[in-house]
């Protein structure tokens, strides 16, 4: 059997088999991940669990069959535009997918992560470019995936891993690759997107390029729960050393917020946490220095980045504060994502919401998330305008929480306008992610014996089929005589 | 009221108002279209009817509300990965859309055509770049659309038309344009796609770049209905002077098909038909000469392209025949789309189906359509392999018919892998086209009073809402302890 031709039930079997293999290998995988990433055991066990749940969720998506979007228009001799043929449309796998793994989620966005799960669920063979930050873990995980392929009766070539950067770029140019998915930095993502668009036959490139995730706190919310906001913010900035694409990068607080000392001491109390690899340590050191050197910037918690004798470079949180005016003036120094435990508090004048809106509109054209902290029951023109402004700029708009947790569910959208992603109409987390690896095709007047199973009237795969019956078709008389 | 914020019911009103305006103006619009395009009255009345039906179909799509894809995951404290927040996801309009009109469908793919209808249905303001082939008709149609906007209480800026080529390119680079749609030639489409991808903020570019639409006739089908195949083919090649992106460009017939004379005389009997404009006449003249000059090509019907005293350049069908070997050798001369009434019959050896498959696989990486003519009940390994090969390369696979009619229905797919389109996951005809102009956004823990109407529990717009209830969420125990 071949994955492209496999039934949804066979794909369910494959995805559950991968989940089983990973579950059984947890005590082998987690220590390897700790050794290569410096992330904490609890965080990694949680991430592996999420990865397993993700695979089982896509197994369920396959079992339901809704993703095939089967539409059957019965032949209709009386259709308003003249006889309509029998039309049957469904989603095919787009073809072999190239996935670029991320460094900061060595399970959930790596070898057996979300992109792999959704591509396999769609019926696409996967070639995964491993991240150099965790090569041994990648090889070990790939072994488990291959074990599952064998158990599911699929050829080993259904899933392959390459380790070399040059191989990744060469494959992105290969005519046999039909789509690519990437999670990583803006610079690399934009470069790869250019290669995908410049091929002789361009292909879709689904890049998640990171985000600065602004958070706006209203004066009423601050009056209601200043301490909760402060502690939640510091936890969000410092968790996993801030190496998350959903880290809150900007916190907008009203003038005279009085939280400077609370934030500073909460951040100072956070112990050092290893950075994932040398490249990230170098880039973070540089970004942090640029932010600290920008005019108008006041330090709330200086933090540090220090190489330790054990080989890890550890960081403690850096929090700074700046006025809205200075943020606009210093945007070139302050606005880029700092991938690490740094965040910027921005003071705004609560009596001039227009200035805040204008700045947000200009500074954040696209982000994975934005967050609003409002008071219970707060509802006014100002707040409604803020919500309307932010929703145009993000994939997910949160209220009274922090963006760092991303639920893996049907209603999740992990995406957003450029520069957060290169494909704002799609998501890389949640069940809707499968749509990135599908392509519709219509069969017209196909003899029943040549129809694919999903389109047959006897529906052997038992997938949902949306039918437009003859006669029941749209008919508004004879609009143009 | 603003289109972006409008309810689906308001959009239904707008689209029906445009349909009403066009219907009422038929006797003004059709003569203007005849004067500028040279297309026949019956064809243009049919096309206007189709355009009106298209608008009413999208009005119905709005009324149903399924396109919003509302998903509500209720908060779930017992979710397998820890407490899950309240998540509500739906599709927002992507923003202002730039539509490039086509020359060959002055109604259905022009000012008030499919792209305009689906973008307005999605809630996106439209700027339309008119085709220089029918500027007066474009201005007249735009007037009718503006009349409908006024009736629907929407600002006139919701829909604007520009006529200048340079304006189109400038707008494609404008940061306020969020997506672009195009129907036209491969060269222009690829150039515009490059501009869209190379912007500081790249945007989706939905280009339909034309197609050569191969048709394969099995020996059994030929034995069953040779005359029917011949007359259907000539009608498909010559209708509207072959100026259709779905014109059958290649007809694969088994060796010794015996149809040369029938095809030739049927084609010779077709009267001359005006070409749309000088640019098309010049390009067609050049392509036709290249095909006729290619080694190995035999002429079945020579046809002609001739400028007439009335100012129109008229064409009669040109049919040629070539063996499979020569087609492979002369691919650079023969393979590009000839936009006009020219088609190429290709002889294949029915005892070597592998050679046919191999050639099709190499010659046609992406097409809007492919067609198979088989005999009643025919079903064999050869045919199944052919179907499997073709479906990977097209948006629509037809049986025992001709690709030139494109039904406007839920199950239509008018698209296909590159080079047929720049966005193989989407369609430009049928109700699924609305998906190109939508972008999902998730609201997390949003206070009820700040939720958009589509996401509210009281559902004031009465749109379909897919709910995942708390507790009913996926749960496979505790997969990683």
Distances (CA, A) of A179 to A112, B220, B233: 17, 38, 35
Q: Does the beta carbon of A384 lie under 8 angstroms from any beta carbon of chain B?
A: yes
Residue with tokens 């540089």: A286
User: Alpha-carbon distance A159 to A144, whole Å?
Assistant: 11
Sequence-ordered list of residues with C-beta below 8 angstroms from that of A254, at least 6 positions apart, any chain: A217, A218, A219, A222, A347, A348, A349, A350
Contact of B240 with B106, CB cutoff 8 Å: no
Residue with tokens 């191999």: B358
B contacts of A445 (beta carbons < 8 Å): 398-401
pLDDT reported for residue B476: 52
Nearest chain A residue (CA) to B72: A411
The region, left, alpha or beta by phi > 0 then psi within -120 to 50, assigned to residue B334 is alpha
Q: Above 50 in pLDDT, residue B276?
A: yes
pLDDT reported for residue B479: 40
pLDDT reported for residue B63: 96
Residues B232-275: pLDDT tens digits?
999 999 999 999 999 999 999 999 999 999 999 999 999 999 99
pLDDT reported for residue A475: 47
Question: What value does the mean pLDDT take over residues A384-407?
Answer: 96
* Closest by Cβ to A87, choosing from B411, B417, B445: B411
pLDDT reported for residue B477: 43
Nearest chain B residue (CA) to A59: B474
Contact of A101 with A129, CB cutoff 8 Å: yes
Interface contact B383-A94, CB threshold 8 A: no
Q: Above 70 in pLDDT, residue A97?
A: yes
Tokens representing A168 are 């990744």
Q: Above 80 in pLDDT, residue B471?
A: no
Tokens representing A210 are 């990171």
Interface contact B95-A398, CB threshold 8 A: no
Sequence-ordered list of residues with C-beta below 8 angstroms from that of B394, at least 6 positions apart, any chain: A441, B366, B367, B368, B369, B370, B416, B417, B420
pLDDT reported for residue B478: 41
Residues B93-119: pLDDT tens digits?
999 999 999 999 999 999 999 999 999
Which 8-state DSSP code applies to residue B470? T
Query: CB count, 10 Å around CB of A458?
Result: 8
Interface contact A474-B60, CB threshold 8 A: yes
Decide the pairing of beta strands B298-301 and B318-323. antiparallel
Structure confidence at residue B475 as a pLDDT band (50, 70, 90): very low
* Residue-range domain boundaries for chain A: 3-209+427-438, 214-399
User: Alpha-carbon distance A154 to A243, whole Å?
Assistant: 36
In our burial notation (b when 16+ CB lie closer than 10 A, e otherwise), range B403-438 reads bbbbbbbbbbbbbbbbbbbbbbbbbbbbbbbbbbbb
The one catalytic residue in A21, A47, A208, A321 is A208
* Closest by Cβ to A85, choosing from B94, B407, B435: B407
Interface contact A399-B442, CB threshold 8 A: no
User: Alpha-carbon distance A194 to A338, whole Å?
Assistant: 23
Q: How far is A227 from chain B (nearest CA, A)?
A: 20
Which 8-state DSSP code applies to residue B230? H
Q: What is the DSSP string of A182-208?
A: EES-HHHHHHHHHHHHHSSS---EEEE
- Could you give phi then psi for residue A110, rounded to 5 degrees? -130, -140
Rounded to the nearest integer, the mean pLDDT of chain A is 95
The H helix count followed by the E strand count for chain A is 14, 19
Query: CB count, 10 Å around CB of B77?
Result: 9
Pick the residue of A411, A417, A450 with the most B CBs within 10 A to test the interface with B by mutation: A411
Q: What is the DSSP string of A256-279?
A: T---HHHHHHHHHTSPPEE-SSHH
Q: Does the beta carbon of B472 lie under 8 angstroms from any beta carbon of chain A?
A: no
Q: Above 60 in pLDDT, residue A479?
A: no
Q: What is the largest CA-CA distance in chain B?
A: 85
Structure confidence at residue B383 as a pLDDT band (50, 70, 90): very high
**Residue closest to A391 by CA, chosen among B4, B464, B70:** B4
User: Alpha-carbon distance B294 to B326, whole Å?
Assistant: 9
pLDDT reported for residue A477: 44
Contact of A356 with A266, CB cutoff 8 Å: no
Residues B341-367: pLDDT tens digits?
999 999 999 999 999 999 999 999 999
Residues A185-211: pLDDT tens digits?
999 999 999 999 999 999 999 999 999
Residue with tokens 């749960």: B475
Structure confidence at residue A476 as a pLDDT band (50, 70, 90): low
Q: How far is A133 from chain B (nearest CA, A)?
A: 24
Q: Above 50 in pLDDT, residue A164?
A: yes
Is A143 a catalytic site residue? no
Structure confidence at residue A82 as a pLDDT band (50, 70, 90): confident
Sequence-ordered list of residues with C-beta below 8 angstroms from that of B225, at least 6 positions apart, any chain: none
Q: What share of chain A is helix, strand, coil (3-state, %, to 5)?
A: 40, 20, 40
Give the torsion through C-alpha atoms of A405, A407, A408, A412, to 10 deg: -110
Query: CB count, 10 Å around CB of A299?
Result: 14
Q: What is the DSSP string of B274-286?
A: E-SSHHHHHHHHH
**Residue closest to A300 by CA, chosen among A315, A283, A322:** A322
Beta bridge partners of A205: A180
Q: Above 80 in pLDDT, residue A472?
A: no
B contacts of A398 (beta carbons < 8 Å): 85, 444-445
Interface contact A411-B203, CB threshold 8 A: no
Q: Above 70 in pLDDT, residue A481?
A: no
Size of interface A-B (CB pairs under 8 A): 270
B contacts of A444 (beta carbons < 8 Å): 396-399, 401
* Closest by Cβ to B444, choosing from A73, A89, A399: A399
Sequence-ordered list of residues with C-beta below 8 angstroms from that of B187, at least 6 positions apart, any chain: none
Q: Above 80 in pLDDT, residue B427?
A: yes
Q: Sheet with B313-316: list strands edge to edge.
A: B273-274, B313-316, B304-307
Residues A410-436: pLDDT tens digits?
999 999 999 999 999 999 999 999 999
The second-level CATH assignment, the architecture, of A3-209+427-438 is 3-Layer(aba) Sandwich (3.40)
Q: Please list the active-site residues of B.
A: 208, 245
Question: What value does the mean pLDDT take over residues A315-323?
Answer: 98
User: Alpha-carbon distance B349 to B357, whole Å?
Assistant: 11
Sign, CA dihedral B389-B393-B395-B396, equals negative
User: Alpha-carbon distance B481 to B477, whole Å?
Assistant: 10
Rounded to the nearest integer, the mean pLDDT of chain B is 95
A contacts of B445 (beta carbons < 8 Å): 398-401
Question: What value does the mean pLDDT take over residues A169-178?
Answer: 98
Tokens representing B328 are 């492979």
User: Alpha-carbon distance B244 to B45, whole Å?
Assistant: 17
Q: What is the DSSP string of A113-147?
A: SHHHHHHHHHT--EEEE--TTSHHHHHHHHHHHHH
Structure confidence at residue A469 as a pLDDT band (50, 70, 90): confident
Q: Scan residues 16-35 of B and list those with Cβ closer than 8 Å to A.
A: 19, 22-23, 26
Q: Over pLDDT 70: what percentage of chain A? A: 98
- Which CATH number applies to B214-399? 3.40.309.10
Q: How many residues does chain A have?
A: 481
* Closest by Cβ to B425, choosing from A73, A419, A438: A438
Question: What value does the mean pLDDT take over residues B31-35?
Answer: 98
pLDDT reported for residue B82: 87
Structure confidence at residue A471 as a pLDDT band (50, 70, 90): confident
Question: What value does the mean pLDDT take over residues A389-410?
Answer: 95
Structure confidence at residue B81 as a pLDDT band (50, 70, 90): confident
Nearest chain A residue (CA) to B26: A480
Work out the angle between the directed axes of helices A41-64 and A8-24 (0-180°, nearest 10): 160
Count Cβ atoms within 10 A of the Cβ of residue A476 and give its class: 0-12 exposed, 13-18 middle, 19 or more buried: middle
Decide the pairing of beta strands B70-73 and B87-93. antiparallel
Query: CB count, 10 Å around CB of A269?
Result: 12
Is A208 a catalytic site residue? yes
User: Alpha-carbon distance A55 to B428, whole Å?
Assistant: 33
Structure confidence at residue A80 as a pLDDT band (50, 70, 90): confident
The one catalytic residue in A47, A62, A124, A245 is A245
pLDDT reported for residue A474: 53
Which 8-state DSSP code applies to residue A477? S
Contact of B230 with B263, CB cutoff 8 Å: yes
């Amino acid at each position: 059997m071949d994955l492209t031709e496999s039934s949804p039930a066979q794909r369910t079997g494959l995805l559950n088999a991968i989940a089983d293999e990973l579950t059984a290998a947890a005590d082998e995988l987690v220590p390897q991940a700790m050794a290569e990433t410096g992330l904490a055991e609890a965080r990694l066990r949680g991430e592996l669990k999420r990865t397993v749940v993700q695979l089982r969720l896509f197994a369920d998506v396959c079992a339901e069959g809704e993703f095939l979007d089967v539409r059957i228009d019965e032949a209709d001799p009386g259709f308003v535009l003249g006889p309509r043929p029998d039309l049957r449309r469904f989603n095919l796998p787009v073809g072999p997918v190239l996935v670029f793994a991320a460094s900061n989620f060595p399970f959930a966005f790596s070898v057996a992560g979300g992109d792999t799960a959704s591509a396999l669920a769609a019926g696409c063979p996967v070639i995964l470019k491993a991240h150099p930050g965790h090569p041994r873990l990648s090889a070990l995980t790939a072994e488990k995936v291959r074990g599952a392929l064998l158990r599911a009766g699929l050829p080993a070539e259904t899933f392959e891993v390459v380790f070399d950067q040059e191989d990744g770029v060469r494959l992105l140019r290969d005519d046999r690759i039909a789509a690519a998915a990437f999670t990583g930095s803006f610079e690399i993502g934009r470069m790869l997107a250019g290669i995908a668009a410049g091929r002789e036959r361009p292909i879709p490139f689904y890049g998640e390029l990171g985000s600065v995730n602004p958070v706006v706190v209203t004066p009423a919310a601050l009056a209601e729960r200043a301490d909760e906001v402060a502690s939640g913010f510091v936890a969000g900035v410092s968790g996993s050393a801030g190496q998350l694409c959903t880290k809150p990068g900007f916190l907008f607080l009203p003038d005279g917020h009085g939280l400077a000392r609370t934030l500073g001491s909460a951040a100072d109390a956070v112990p050092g946490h290893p950075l994932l690899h040398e490249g990230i340590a170098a880039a973070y050191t540089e970004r942090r220095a640029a932010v600290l050197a920008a005019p108008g910037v006041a330090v709330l918690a200086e933090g540090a980045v220090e190489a330790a004798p054990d080989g890890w470079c550890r960081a403690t949180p850096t929090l700074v504060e700046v006025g809205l005016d200075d943020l606009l003036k210093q945007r070139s120094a302050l606005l880029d994502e700092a991938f690490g435990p740094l965040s910027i508090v921005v003071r705004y004048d609560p009596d001039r919401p227009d200035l805040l809106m204008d700045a947000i509109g200009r500074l954040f054209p696209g982000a994975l998330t934005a967050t609003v902290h409002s008071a219970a029951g707060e509802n006014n023109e100002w707040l409604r305008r803020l919500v309307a402004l932010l929703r145009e700029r993000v994939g997910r708009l949160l209220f009274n929480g922090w963006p760092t947790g991303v639920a893996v569910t049907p209603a999740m959208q992990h995406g957003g306008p450029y520069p957060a992603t290169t494909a704002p109409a799609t998501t890389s987390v949640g069940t809707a992610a499968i749509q990135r690896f599908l392509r519709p095709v219509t069969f017209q007047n196909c003899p029943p014996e040549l129809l694919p199973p999903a389109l047959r009237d006897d529906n052997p795969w038992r997938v949902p089929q949306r039918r437009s019956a003859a006669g029941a078709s749209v008919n508004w008389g004879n609009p143009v005589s």
